[in-house]
Chains A and B, each alone.
Chain A
Amino acid sequence: MTGYEQMENAIEVQGVSKRFVRQIDRRNSLKERVMRGKAKNSQDFWAVKGATFNIPKGSVYGIIGHNGSGKSTLLKMIAGIYRPTEGSIVTQGRVAALIELGAGFHPEMSGLENIQLNGAILGLSKSEIADVTGEIIEFSGLRQFINDPVKHYSSGMYVRLGFAVAVHMKPDVLVVDEVLAVGDEEFQRKCFDHLYKLRRAGKTIVVVSHGLGQLEGLCDEIAWMDHGVLQETGMPTDVIAHYLSKVNADEANSTPRLDSARADTELRAGTQALQLRTATIIGSQGETINHAETGNTFAIRLTYSTAEPVVGPNFRIALQHESGPLVTMVSNHRIEKDLGTLNGEGTLDIAFVNNPLLPGRYRVHIDVFDDSGSRLIDNWNDAVEFPVRSVFGEIGQGYVHLQSEFTLK
């Protein structure tokens, strides 16, 4: 039964919950504390609810889940940065956390001094740091720059040094948050090799990532978090498959506002010479659709009515990714398309040819300006929202798929 002997745990998570008090209900100043009294805990938010699992010594353990599923909170509790509100986490040995590479670096100090500082922050003694300094410099490949202040480093050099420092601090448990995708191909290879080396040396690695493929190859076991609740732990292939089917089912069930009409009672900005009425996401043939696909044409259909003839208006359509960034803004003036004079009721289609948007959820904001492009006629924020799915089955990085050509010359 050697298998059971190896099952000694590096980390035991027992009924762990984490509560955050929402910012709106926190007393951030003495003044507020005095004026508004003690904060009531009615706005609690449970980021993690009753998670129990063990991480065996010498394993690579992955945690997956959607944004806000509590996986990073869980990781921070394992790293000792957050304290569980309920339950306990027992870790054996020194835990080093890679929540952000080079987090403790100081720009005025040289690479060498920063190695010493970061080593001390991660809990090493002076002599322990001295022992690993050579290895770190070697691993980072920054020997000739090691006495320069890190403010002169490129971001790639910075990250390389950060990774080198963290993995050489002889941790018993290494906690990694989304930082595996660093540096160039060669350095990434080196990072993975080093992680495997740590694992062979019996170290435990806990990693949170969105890169499911990466995790599948690296991990011995995976835990899946959903809205703060641990769903499943087990073999990477199984858990990832279950997770993905849940994600797809969720997307099919949720009803993004692909079609919406505007209430007449709504207060509107602009001159209102033209009023936007409805917005609908449609397919290339004008059919209604419940999602757009990367690479395939889709369109936004607007209906409007005018109070007076409107000459040469400019329709500006902004697309915002669900995570916040404005991905793009299109307008008919920019492509020098004159819509002529609009009078009465009408319909306008804005097509996105060979949709380059990568999978995700996008919101549509619409502004209508007059022919000078400076006076607002009507504005409709968050008019519709649509999901984009991939037809190739891969998710991709970033927001857009650029048409690219690779040519050997």
Chain B
Amino acid sequence: MEALNYTQRVLSEIYQRRALIWAFANRDFATRYRSSALGWAWSLLQPLASLLVYAAVFSLVFKIQAPPLGADPERTSFAAFLFTGMVTWNVFSSLLMLSMTELKSSGDLLRKVNFPAWTPILGASIVQLIQVILELAVLIAMFIFVLNVGWTWILAIPILIATALFAQGLGLMLSILNAHYGDVRYVVTVSLGALYFLTPVLYPMSLVEDTASWLAWIVKLNPMSWFVESMHDVMYSLQPPAWWVIPALLVFGAVTFLIGLKIFNRYSEDIGELL
């Protein structure tokens, strides 16, 4: 009951501050895309470049086989498989990193005006969604190109929302920790690098299941694996996951977000002095 009350309070607080969140989103949009005419193109360059490198190295050098495509079990597409995972992963890693940098860069303002410190973070995250949509468009184009189209695509939306909620919750916690201890950012960067390889992005889950059991367990317990695997299911294999999977991911994401915001508020009372 208390959890419900809290949820309601959080939602109404976010709703009350919508003008501010939106204003910060506008500001970030202006910095990211307006000052350079090729802003949109640049933002896609980085993921596409790593796609190219990883696709080449992991399919040609390491000879990793992608699972069969949903539309035609005779064929596979490693690039499409890889990019499905990358898009999901990028939602996670970008929201974590930008939460930390956004809070730090809002410090100047937070020392002078009193407003909730999570609003610029949510604003920046909204702008990041543009990036997600762009990457998703590229992904869809890739799947159309390999003739792998299905109704299950629609399920990608709740999965990505759950991923974003999860990442934002974690991002809020880490950003306030980073405000207290400035080197948290480096720890997170390093951890993200390691976690990337413990998530079935560059390889299919089946490959880990065949190997050492402890490693398989780590990959399976990694929450990001759940999101990435679900995306593989609905985008690549064109199979809906078990009926409870997506609701469970949404609840998991929402709970992480609510806890993240609670922790953030608990430790951001003296934010004006910290930053």
Interface residues of A, Cβ cutoff 8 Å to B: 20, 27-33, 76, 79-83, 95, 97, 99-100, 103-104, 106, 108-109, 113, 116-117, 119-126, 129
Contacts and interface: CB of A to CB of B under 8 A. Distances in A.
A29 B269 contact: no
Contact of B270 (A83, A103, A116, A124): A83
Contacts of A126: 19
Given A97-B113, A103-B113, A28 B26 contact: no
B112 A113 contact: no
A122 B116 CA distance: 11
Contact of A120 (B23, B183, B184, B187): B23
A29 B186 CA distance: 11
Contact of B184 (A30, A106, A117): A30
B32 to A, nearest CB: 10
16 contacts: A28-B182, A79-B113, A81-B114, A82-B273, A95-B114, A97-B113, A97-B114, A99-B111, A104-B109, A106-B30, A116-B23, A119-B19, A119-B23, A120-B19, A120-B20, A123-B115
Contacts of A83: 269-270
A109 B32 CA distance: 12
- A29, A33, A80, A104 pick with most chain B CB within 10 angstroms: A104
Given A83-B270, A97-B114, A106-B27, A125 B182 contact: no
A121 B272 contact: no
Given A106-B30, A113-B26, A117-B26, A29 B183 contact: yes
A219 B185 CA distance: 47
A33 to B, nearest CB: 6
Nearest to B273: A82
Contacts of A122: 113, 115
B112 A97 contact: yes
A109 B27 contact: yes
Chain A interface SS verdict (over half): loop
B34 interface: yes
Interface string B10-49: 0000000001101110110011001100000000000000
Given A29-B182, A103-B108, A104-B109, A121 B30 contact: no
A80 B113 CA distance: 8
B18 to A, nearest CB: 8
Contact of A108 (B23, B24, B30, B183): B30
A123 B119 CA distance: 12
B33 to A, nearest CB: 10
A99 B184 contact: no
B267 interface: no
Contacts of A27: 180-181
Contacts of B20: 120-121, 123
A166 to B, nearest CB: 10
A117 B120 CA distance: 11
Contact of B34 (A31, A82, A108, A120): A108
A188 to B, nearest CB: 22
5 pairs of A and B residues whose beta carbons are closest in the complex: A80-B114, A120-B23, A99-B112, A29-B183, A120-B20
A79 B109 CA distance: 13
- B26, B112, B269 pick with most chain A CB within 10 angstroms: B112
Nearest to A114: B27
B111 A81 contact: yes
B30 to A, nearest CB: 5
A44 to B, nearest CB: 13
Nearest to A129: B19
B72 to A, nearest CB: 48
Given A81-B111, A108-B35, A33 B27 contact: no
